[in-house]
Amino acid sequence: MTAIDVSALGPGAQRVLSAEAPPPMKMLAARGIVPGAAPPDLLAILVVLSEGDSDVARTAQGTLRALPKPLLEGALSGELQAGVLFELAAIFATDTEVLPRLLRMKALDSPTLLRLCQSASEASGEIIATNEALILRYPEAIEVLYMNPRVRMSTSDRLIDLAVRNGIELEFPAFKLAAQAIKNQLIPEPTEEPTFDDELYKTASQLSHELSLAEEEDVCDEDEEGKLELKKKFVPLFAQIQDMTVTQKIRSAMLGNSTMRMILVRDTNRLVAEAVARSPRLTENEVVRITASRSVSDDVLRIIANSREHTRSYQVKLNLVCNPRTPFSFASRLVPHIRSNDLRAIGRSKNVPGAVSRLAVQQLSRQK
């Protein structure tokens, strides 16, 4: 948070915030009583006094959370310091009347905007996203809005499109995938009410949470050849996912739960399957199930094999070596990390590629 510039405040405010100010004066100020102080100065006083864990700080925090409307109106009619805006962002991020006025403040900076994006509701996310000039000034807000599950799907699509049209490249995992997919989609105009696709995205997300997977459960039954049969209880969710756009599926892979990801990782669209492998919410149990599956693409297995975080798990390393869909260059790199008893099993197995089997035998002989 940007510190409050006390020297920019009026004499009354400076007196209250000085080291010599008596405690009773500070407590009155914490309650919002500073005779002669302009509303913007009074808010700055409250923000400064709210720091810490004293009685004065707690009182000031309570006053900030319940600002009288005349005081708030008066403060918003002037210009507020960045530090004041940062604190107001935590209180009014979902207030659709106050939010537009905060966004118009000259001192609004990146930390405050990101705080607003992080706490945004569906409606306030739409308000922020339609302020394209502000988004282009602070494009890091695109990632925060995209990763906020309360923000509409159509809003996130427009944000990705805005970045692509303006040549902005962002580093978060979904961006490059969504940017490729968005080029082949129609971009919806901003609307007050959610679109059909917004409702589809939300409904599928809700249904996936009703169908939560047990710790080691999968959505499919799979035989040794990788042939799949979707379990009956997941059929309605699968049908909804099939109606989704590619960008909806990519965002679902990023923000959805295990049930959603275990369906999407087998999607025929490469971008969607890769989004699952790059999801920050992907758990170790999911990675174990994915790497054991012969129905996932080699691209997914390559991404996982390249991840230091995922390959810390011995079971993941073993699954990658045993999975015939793992590219040989990645499987061979993991063979030296496999235990002797597993190397013997791999050397005798007919379900792994011959090159991997021979490499396992060679590695075993080196260990003797």
Residues 290 and 268 reside in one and the same domain: no
Q: How many CB atoms lie within 10 A of CB 96?
A: 12
Q: Are residues 290 and 365 in the same domain?
A: yes
The pLDDT assigned to 187 comes to: 87
pLDDT value of position 191: 86
Question: What is the token pair recorded at 109?
Answer: 């900076």
Q: Is residue 57 part of a domain?
A: yes
Same domain membership, residue 300 and residue 275: no
- Cross-strand partners of 229: 221
User: Is 186's pLDDT higher than 90?
Assistant: no
Answer yes or no: is pLDDT of 31 > 70: yes
Give me the domain span that covers residue 299. 285-368
Q: What percent of the chain has pLDDT over 90?
A: 84
308 and 258 in a single domain? The answer is no
Return the amino acid letter for 120: A
Amino acid found at 296: V
pLDDT tens per residue across span 101-156: 999 999 999 999 999 999 999 999 999 999 999 999 999 999 999 999 999 999 99
In a domain, residue 25? The reply is yes
Q: Are residues 276 and 302 in the same domain?
A: no
In the predicted model, what is the mean pLDDT of residues 289-309? Answer: 95
> 52 or 281, which is more confident?
281
pLDDT tens sequence across 332-358: 999 999 999 999 999 898 889 999 999
pLDDT higher than 70, residue 1: no
How much of the chain exceeds pLDDT 70, in percent?
99
Tell which residue, 215, 210, 214, has the closest CA to residue 237. Answer: 210
Per residue in 39-74, pLDDT tens? 999 999 999 999 988 999 999 999 999 999 999 999
The pLDDT tens digits for 196-229 are 999 999 999 999 999 988 887 899 887 766 678 8
Do residues 249 and 294 share a domain?
A: no
**176 within a domain of the structure (yes/no):** no
Residue 257 lies in a domain: yes
Q: Which of 282, 308, 331 is the last residue of a domain?
A: 282
| CA nearest neighbour of 248 among 267, 230, 272, 268 | 272
What pLDDT shows up at residue 136? 97
The answer to whether residue 35 is domain-embedded is yes
- For residues 32 and 27, what is the distance between their CA atoms, to the nearest angstrom? 9
3-class SS of residue 294: coil
**Phi–psi pair at 229, nearest 5 degrees:** -140, 115
Where are the alpha helices (H) located in 93-223, listed in sequence order?
Answer: 99-103, 110-119, 122-129, 132-137, 140-146, 153-165, 175-182, 196-210
Q: Which of 229, 264, 282 is the last residue of a domain?
A: 282
Q: What is the 3-state secondary structure (H, E, C) of the chain?
A: CCCCCHHHCCHHHHHHHCCCCCHHHHHHHHCCCCCCCCHHHHHHHHHHHCCCCCHHHHHHHHHHHCCCHHHHHHHHCCCCCHHHHHHHHHHHCCCCCCHHHHHCCCCCCHHHHHHHHHHCCHHHHHHHHCCHHHHHHCCHHHHHHHCCCCCCHHHHHHHHHHHHHCCCCCCCCCHHHHHHHHCCCCCCCCCCCCCHHHHHHHHHHHHHHHCCCCCCCCCEEECCCCCEEECHHHHHHHHHHHCCCHHHHHHHHHHCCHHHHHHHCCCCCHHHHHHHHCCCCCCHHHHHHHHHCCCCCHHHHHHHHCCCCHHHCHHHHHHHHHCCCCCHHHHHHHHHHCCHHHHHHHHHCCCCCHHHHHHHHHHHHHHC
Q: What is the mean pLDDT of residues 150-173?
A: 95
Q: What is the CA radius of gyration of the chain?
A: 27
Domain match, 258 and 205 both: yes
Q: What is the mean pLDDT of the chain?
A: 93
The pLDDT of 25-45, averaged and rounded, is 94
Domain count, the chain: 3
- Give pLDDT, residue 277: 97
> Which pLDDT score is estimated for 368?
64
Residue 10 binned pLDDT confidence (cut-offs 50, 70, 90): very high
Report the distance separating Cα 263 and Cα 255, nearest Å.
14
Question: Does the pLDDT of residue 367 top 80, yes or no?
Answer: no
Domain-embedded: residue 246: yes
Domain final position from 282, 314, 346: 282
Flag whether 272 is in a domain: yes
pLDDT of residue 210: 95
**164 in any annotated domain:** no
